[in-house]
């Protein structure tokens, strides 16, 4: 997971990081490894860059009130699974939100996008 795309513009840079996380049934060690690598990649990207993390987190994000600032209220699920909790924790630690749960949509499978807009 040491590949990402950097897009430079006149006023700011945007870095895209692509993720494919293990399934819910995968071993905890494998999940820990992937999220550790993802954290390392995030640490290597300039703090001034706009960071967009996208891909398949194999996560189910519920409608729990405790995470509403990160997950919004339009999740298709009622309860968050382990992969969803890992993704939410990652998003919260990095000042990001789970964009796919912020807008009402029809029930269908899709990828998850995490974004953080930083102008510091």
Q: Which domain CATH number covers 31?
A: 3.60.10.10
Number of compact structural domains in the chain: 1
Which structural domain, as residue segments, surrounds residue 16?
A: 4-116
pLDDT in tens, 43-86: 999 989 999 998 899 999 988 888 888 888 877 788 999 999 99
pLDDT in tens, 81-99: 999 999 999 999 999 988 8
Q: Is the pTM value of this prediction over 0.85? A: no
Q: How confident is the model at residue 119 (pLDDT cuts 50, 70, 90)?
A: very low
Check residue 12 and give its pLDDT.
83
| Chain centroid offset of residue 74 CA | 16
**Which of these, 19, 23, 37, lies nearest to 81 by C-alpha position?**
23
Residue with more model confidence, 4 or 18 = 18
Residue 4 pairs in a beta bridge with: 17
């Amino acid at each position: 997971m040491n590949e990402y795309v950097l897009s430079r513009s006149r006023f700011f840079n945007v870095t895209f990081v692509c993720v494919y996380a293990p399934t819910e049934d995968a071993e905890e060690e494998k999940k820990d490894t992937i999220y550790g690598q993802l954290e390392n990649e995030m640490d290597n990207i300039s703090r001034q860059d706009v960071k967009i993390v996208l891909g398949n987190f194999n996560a189910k994000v519920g409608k729990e009130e405790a995470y509403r600032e990160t997950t919004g209220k339009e999740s298709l699920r009622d309860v968050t699974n382990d992969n969803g909790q890992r993704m939410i924790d990652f998003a919260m630690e990095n000042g990001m939100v789970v964009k796919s749960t912020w807008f009402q949509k029809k029930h269908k499978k899709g990828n998850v996008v995490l974004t953080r807009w930083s102008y510091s």
